[in-house]
Chains A and B, each alone.
Chain A
Amino acid sequence: MNTEQEALAIELEFEPQPVPIFMLGESHCLAFTDRIFHEPAYLQERFQTRTIYLPGISSHDFSANNMQRVVNALWDNVLIIGDARGRSGALEAAHASVTPLRIPNVHSKKPRGVPILVVFAGEIALRSLFLRQLGTNDFQLPFEVPGLEVLPMSEGYQQVPFQLVQQLANQVLGPLFTGLKSLYDMGFTSLYLHAVPPPTVSDEEFEKINGFFSPARLRYKAAILFNRLFHSFAESSHVRVIDIWDEVTIRNVLNPEFHIDGTHLNTNAVSLTLGKLMASVIQDERVAIHGRYVYAQQEAQSTAGAELDAEFAASGLRMASIGAASAAGLARGLVFDRDTANQHVRLDWTGGSPRPWSPAIRTAIPGAEFLKRLYDLLYEPELSRLLRSCTGSDYAVLSARPLRFGAQPATAERLSGAESLHTDGCPVGVLRAVLYLSDAAEGLEFQAGEELTAAAGPAGTLVVFDGNRLPHRWSPGRGKDVDVIDLVLAPRHCRLDRCVIWPGMNRWPVDPFNFSMEGFKSHPAGLPFRFIEDSAPWWRTI
């Protein structure tokens, strides 16, 4: 080391950490290497695509017995971890781990929900397995695909029933679908499968690259079939498909603007994929991390457990009252001047889409006074005892949203959403409650067996219910608006404080141990939970 030289004064400026998007699989993911972009309208986040290229990976690399390459790649990117104490054991998704050391992630306190993972697979299987197997057999797609008639097709190909070809395709893709499902079940719930891109239109180019001949029209039909199967798989699973076929083709044939080498799309297609991905990330339902909610409930019950209310345990429903005067006090100052569009869409909270549910439902932004008053009411000893007996532990109010159900004419038809019978898909241990701020002649209706029961009541009525167990719907006020506070109660684990949060039109955090409050309001103000300090031994915090 040269001590003679004067040390340079280096100043570092850190940029905010972008949210990673993992692009895993075949060479089609290479175009996404280290792309950094900003989504300014909804999430207002910076993202960076990280490529996990697995050369030659095919469908069978996702089979249950042969997923080592995929698992190793995820492990290398700390998306999958083993036992935190170094013992061998079952692998788990890092973001869903319930090992105390990893709650929350001590390496980055920025809550990001579930990592976004886009898988590129199936295209190699299409070429190297499926088309080779098809050989000189042809088939007819059972749906119309305009434009394919311009593609060359060779003579002498034997027609094979579509069902048999579909069975072959399913056989080829089966391991991929099984593998993706197991990744989803492991906790990768923001999982996407990228559709197969349109093949080259040049038979010569295809043969040169792949070493065998397959006519263009057959290649296209095969690719379209694969993408259909991707979509069918998506419908039957929770894995989503990113499909830019329509954007990169003209009448279903590759637009030359996207041609690069006979196999891949050029970088012009990158923004199309990312645009579709972001649209889904923003609009589609986010899934709470099941394992962490289970753990939160266990923690809550072990540290601040409460005896379960028999009536609630039996029926999933309990009603109480805070009194009309208290309800009136809460309602005072609420201005229902906003629609139900979620203006706080974020990766670490589940919530509504940026589009309003219904023009008949309005919401209000509560003030600090409202939240304090609500906090005092919900944690008042007698009501608190009741709520504890429903949740089985102490609780946190993760969402308190004022809603106004606009008066409907008596003959009005029910709207979809809140006004149609539904269950909520709440995370484990999470209960719903609705506090009527005005008299509700009908209010919530619950279905038990064949019967529909109205939980009507005057202002001040609090209806606590298990939204997963009881199908329910809202009956709009006839000739009169009905104001309510829509509440989400979660078991209060030992790092979570008692709180009442207004998270805009969001419902609950993706991770009960790590979520942001930016743009939200709460009482008490600020983050209601404690991180593990970077320097603190983990055992001191639990």
Chain B
Amino acid sequence: MTHAFPYDGIQDHQNWKKAVTLVENGRIDPHSSTKFKIDRQTKVVSAGSCFAQRIAESLQDYGFNYYVVEPGPPWLTRQQKMDYSYGVYSARYGNLYTTLQLLQLMQRATGEFQPVDEYWSSPEGVIDPFRPSIQPGGFATVEELAADRQQHLQSVLALFRDLDVFVFTLGLTETWCSAVDGAAFPTCPGKRFGEFDPDRYVFRNLSLEDNVACFEAFMDMLRDLNPDARIILTVSPVPLVATMEDRHVLQSTTYSKAVLRVLAEDMRRRYENVEYFASYEIATGTYNAQRYFQEDKRNVTPEAIDHVMWSFFRNFTDEDPEQWVKVERADEESEALQVKPCDQEQLLALIS
């Protein structure tokens, strides 16, 4: 008895030639099907690394229900909102580069974790160690920070309770933590923010096992709060700005992205309500010969974002993104926005 050759029956998207070689670069879509869809009523929440900001912007630009629990006061201009991180993400949590940060955010919101590092000092103001760039110059006083944090964490809790879809962009495995209680920070203390003390702060490079454990713990907590929540995981295509491992930054980038990509795959397979969105593949695929990266070979171009979001909407909605036009936002300003650099960008500026 002869058996059919297994590859004879593969579909077009499984075939490089048909899915990549013969497809126009800007229309390559590395997906087949998705576990769920969103519509314009779905409360979509996003968090993660800098790349997640672009997703948030696109969702708002195309009139989706990007769910924001800390929208800021109504009198703010769009630039002020950007500067003070209102609407940059669904809440003012800033960049969450690692799964450990995400887990600890949830734990802080539910009151299960109260880090020892309450604030860092800087010449400009009082810094929230967990949101160092959340507003220019930090907070005016420790009391103001405490009041804002309390409000923020309450909002985060409400966010996790109410969201329909949570888009999380996995960014890094390298992180700095408190040696006292393990609290993970989005940036290394020192120079602009706080003071570096090797006895107080330690470097960690989260392994696959660490990441899996963190994400599982997060999923458990989210399920308790919001059993219907669905999660879309993405991996940021943006390389590390610097590595603390004694090796080339490219090696560290590859390791980090590989771990995160495996994590995403693992979670997608294990959880019915978790899906993976291949933004990483769109931006880094060999087909575009790095054309989706800017001159610094690190940040992605607007064309890359357009391609990614086209694919996102194509796969996660039942609408045809080709027909869409950007909606006019209430806080639209004629002048170009000065986009705030994320924590990793700021680290770049601090490295001599």
Interface size on A, residues (CB 8 A): 16
Q: Are A160 and B141 within 8 A (Cβ)? A: no
A337 to chain B, nearest CB (A): 53
- Binary CB contact string for chain A from 160 to 182 against chain B (1 if under 8 A, 0 otherwise): 11111001100000000000000
- Find the A residue at minimum CB distance from B85: A161
Q: Are B84 and A161 within 8 A (Cβ)? A: yes
Listed residue (B75, B80, B135, B136) with the most chain A CB atoms within 10 angstroms of its CB: B75
Q: Are B76 and A164 within 8 A (Cβ)? A: yes
B166 to chain A, nearest CB (A): 23
Contacts of A134 in B (CB 8 A): 73
A425 within 8 A of B: no
B148 within 8 A of A: yes
Given contacts A135-B74, A137-B73, contact A161 B141 (CB under 8 A): no
A139 to B145, CA, bound (A): 11
Q: Are A163 and B137 within 8 A (Cβ)? A: yes
B350 within 8 A of A: no
Q: Are B76 and A161 within 8 A (Cβ)? A: no
A55 within 8 A of B: no
- Find the A residue at minimum CB distance from B140: A142
In chain A, positions 145-191 with a C-beta closer than 8 Å to chain B are: 158-164, 167-168
Q: Are A162 and B140 within 8 A (Cβ)? A: yes
Given contacts A137-B73, A142-B141, A164-B73, contact A159 B84 (CB under 8 A): no
Contacts of A137 in B (CB 8 A): 73
Q: Are A167 and B147 within 8 A (Cβ)? A: no
A237 within 8 A of B: no
B26 within 8 A of A: no
- Find the A residue at minimum CB distance from B149: A159
Q: What's the dominant secondary structure at chain B's contact region?
A: loop
B72 within 8 A of A: yes
B144 within 8 A of A: yes
A164 to chain B, nearest CB (A): 6
B301 to chain A, nearest CB (A): 32
Contacts of B140 in A (CB 8 A): 140, 142, 161-163
A133 to B80, CA, bound (A): 15
B143 within 8 A of A: yes
From the candidates A142, A158, A164, name the one contacting B80 in the complex (CB within 8 A). A164
A387 to B237, CA, bound (A): 79
B122 to chain A, nearest CB (A): 14
Contacts of A139 in B (CB 8 A): 144
A168 to B77, CA, bound (A): 11
- Find the B residue at minimum CB distance from A171: B75
Contacts of B143 in A (CB 8 A): 140
B42 within 8 A of A: no
A140 to B74, CA, bound (A): 18
A140 to B148, CA, bound (A): 10
In chain A, positions 13-46 with a C-beta closer than 8 Å to chain B are: none
B128 to chain A, nearest CB (A): 11
Listed residue (B80, B135, B144) with the most chain A CB atoms within 10 angstroms of its CB: B144
Given contacts A140-B140, A167-B80, contact A159 B147 (CB under 8 A): yes
Given contacts A140-B147, A164-B84, contact A133 B75 (CB under 8 A): yes
Q: Are A140 and B72 within 8 A (Cβ)? A: no
A142 to B143, CA, bound (A): 8
From the candidates B74, B75, B136, B147, name the one contacting A163 in the complex (CB within 8 A). B136
- Find the B residue at minimum CB distance from A137: B73
A245 to B67, CA, bound (A): 44
- Find the B residue at minimum CB distance from A162: B140
Listed residue (B72, B74, B76, B140) with the most chain A CB atoms within 10 angstroms of its CB: B140
- Find the A residue at minimum CB distance from B150: A159
Given contacts A158-B151, A163-B136, A167-B80, contact A140 B75 (CB under 8 A): no
Given contacts A135-B74, A137-B73, contact A161 B139 (CB under 8 A): yes
- Binary CB contact string for chain B from 132 to 163 against chain A (1 if under 8 A, 0 otherwise): 00011101110110011001000000000000
From the candidates A158, A159, A168, name the one contacting B75 in the complex (CB within 8 A). A168
Q: Are B72 and A160 within 8 A (Cβ)? A: yes
Given contacts A140-B141, A162-B144, contact A135 B151 (CB under 8 A): no
Contacts of B80 in A (CB 8 A): 164, 167
Q: Are A161 and B75 within 8 A (Cβ)? A: no
A164 to B140, CA, bound (A): 11
Contacts of B136 in A (CB 8 A): 163
A133 to B76, CA, bound (A): 10
A140 to B75, CA, bound (A): 18
A262 to B148, CA, bound (A): 32
A517 to chain B, nearest CB (A): 54
Q: A159-B151, A164-B84 are in contact. List 14 more A-B contacts (CB 8 A).
A: A140-B140, A140-B141, A158-B151, A159-B148, A160-B73, A161-B139, A161-B140, A162-B140, A162-B144, A163-B135, A164-B72, A164-B73, A164-B76, A164-B80
- Of all A-B residue pairs in the complex, the 9 with the closest CB atoms, nearest first, are A142-B140, A140-B144, A162-B140, A137-B73, A159-B151, A133-B75, A142-B141, A159-B147, A159-B148
Show 14 A/B contacts (Cβ-Cβ < 8 Å), sorted by A: A134-B73, A135-B74, A137-B73, A140-B140, A158-B73, A159-B144, A159-B147, A159-B151, A161-B139, A161-B140, A162-B141, A164-B76, A164-B80, A168-B75
